[in-house]
Every structure is written in C-alpha cells, then in structure tokens.
Amino acid sequence: MKNIFLTILTFLGISSQMTAQVGIGLSSPNTNAMLEVSSTNKGILLPRLALTATNNPSPLSAHVAGMTVYNTATNTSVAANPVYPGEYYNDGTQWQRKSALSEKTMLSGGTIGGDALTTTTLDVPAATTTGSISTITLATISFTLNKPSLVEFNSNISAIFTNSGIAPGATGAGITDNAVKICSVYYSFTAAPAGIPVNNAFGISSLSYINSFTTFITTGNFYLVPRSTLTLPAGNYTITVNGAGASGMAFRITFGSGNRDAINIRATPSK
C-alpha cells in the first residue's frame, strides 16, 4: 500500500510540472508563456527542410496552421507557388514566406535629392469627338524581379496649364477661355512576363482646371500622384509613366517643371 501511495504522489508531481510553464535557461518563465528560452549567446534553431511549393505541404503530410520552418531549397518548378530559402510559416492552407526588411528593394527613386522628371510639354488639340485624349510618355523605367513580389508604384508629377503652344510665364500663356481642361498621369507596362497585360493604364491620377475669370490667374504647379500596388511574378519589366489631356478647347500641359517630381517603385518579395 505504501508503494502505491508513493507512485501516485510521484505521478501527480510529474503531471503538475508538465502542465506548468517551462523555462530553458531561467528558473521562472513568464506565466503567460508555455515555453520561455533565455540566453545571452545562443539562439533557437528552427527545423531546416526543403519545401517544394507554397501550396504543397511536403515534406509534411498536411498543412498545419502555425507550423514554422526554415526552408533550404529554391524551387520554381511550380511557377505560381515558388519557394526560396528563408523562414516560412503555414496558415493552414499553404506556406507563407516571412520577408526580411533587407529584401525590400527600391527599383526607382528613393533618393533624398534630385528631380525625377525633365520638363515635357503636351499640346492638346481641341477635342473633335467625345473621349478624344492626347497622351505623351514622360519617363520609361526597366526593372527585374528575381522573386514574385508586391510592387508599389508611387509618383509625384507636376503640371502647369497654359494656352496651346505657349510656355509658362510667356506672354499670352494665361488661359481665359472658361473651358474645362482634363489632365491625367498613369502607368502602363510596355514589356512584362506572360499573363501581365501591356499597354493598359493603371494607377491613374487626374485633375481638372478651369479659369472662369476674364484675366489670367497665376496658379503655379499642380501635382498629380499616380499610385498602385500590384502582385507581380518574377521576370523583366518595362514601364512608362504617361501624361494625358483633353478639352473642348486647345491648351498646353507642361509636365515636370516643378522641383519635387518623383517616380518611386518599391518591391517586397511575396514568396
């Protein structure tokens, strides 16, 4: 009977320890943590294994939400679900890669000084049909994505409205025709991997101008801010920043004469 009693006490002691917090390297782990590890010169080493695709649990037998591993393999055989070396967690349906801050890449812009756009003029004729729009390319930028990425396009483009054929500040530049003038800036791909539309406008920023006075009112630069965020596959890209205008009366738009014109493109790997 005595031996049975001691066995029960021992079992109860072990169970109590198993349900309490566990500390490695410290005697009093945080009460809100099941496990706390403390060290001043060592880290935690995650399981290192080779994933095959983000939509494939292998080498696990199934997707398990919360599972975290370090992937050692580069596998792009499944184009839509590639994997690259790095830390991954599983959301229950697929592997998600944890991107490091150092992997964010500024593909264009990002400098403190400088002006991203040279002065470019667009003379817009009077519209002869509804929807008539004149366009011009303001800048062309090429870049390469080594991994599928979330790409942010953010720009700040200046524009001045004057009478057709007349530069800002010149005699006769002031518009007094009381007609609405439409101005837009947008992006479009001229080259991209298969499946990405080319020559389609996106990130459009527009504004309108009208002078209802009989004399010219000095306005200075207006600023348009075309923006867009796209999820893009790895590959080579060429993008243009475009200006456009339309009105029932002819006029000129001068793009890029300001000193704060910027074209910023930033990529963050998403796989």
Pairing status of strand 202-209 against strand 35-37: unpaired
The token pair at 229 is: 């965020």
Q: Which residues of 135-161 are buried (b: 16+ CB within 10 A; e: fewer)?
A: bbebbebeeebebbbebbbbbbbbbbb
Closest CA relative to residue 81, chosen from 231, 238, 236, 268: 231
Residue identified by tokens 């920043």 is 241
Residue pair 212/177 in contact by the 8 Å Cβ criterion: no
Q: How far apart are CA 78 and CA 239, in angstroms?
A: 26
Residue pair 14/20 in contact by the 8 Å Cβ criterion: no
Cα–Cα separations (whole angstroms), residue 17 to 4, 22, 31: 20, 8, 13
pLDDT at position 16, please? 43
Closest CA relative to residue 268, chosen from 148, 187, 153, 188: 148
Residue pair 135/244 in contact by the 8 Å Cβ criterion: yes
Residue pair 262/109 in contact by the 8 Å Cβ criterion: yes
Residue pair 258/120 in contact by the 8 Å Cβ criterion: no
Per-residue pLDDT of the chain (271 residues; tens, 9 = 90+): 555 545 544 444 444 445 578 888 888 888 888 888 999 998 989 999 999 999 999 999 999 999 999 999 999 888 788 888 989 999 999 998 887 666 788 889 877 777 788 999 999 999 877 668 999 999 999 999 988 899 999 999 999 999 999 998 888 888 888 899 999 999 999 999 999 999 999 999 999 999 877 676 667 789 999 999 999 999 999 999 999 999 999 999 999 988 889 999 999 987 7
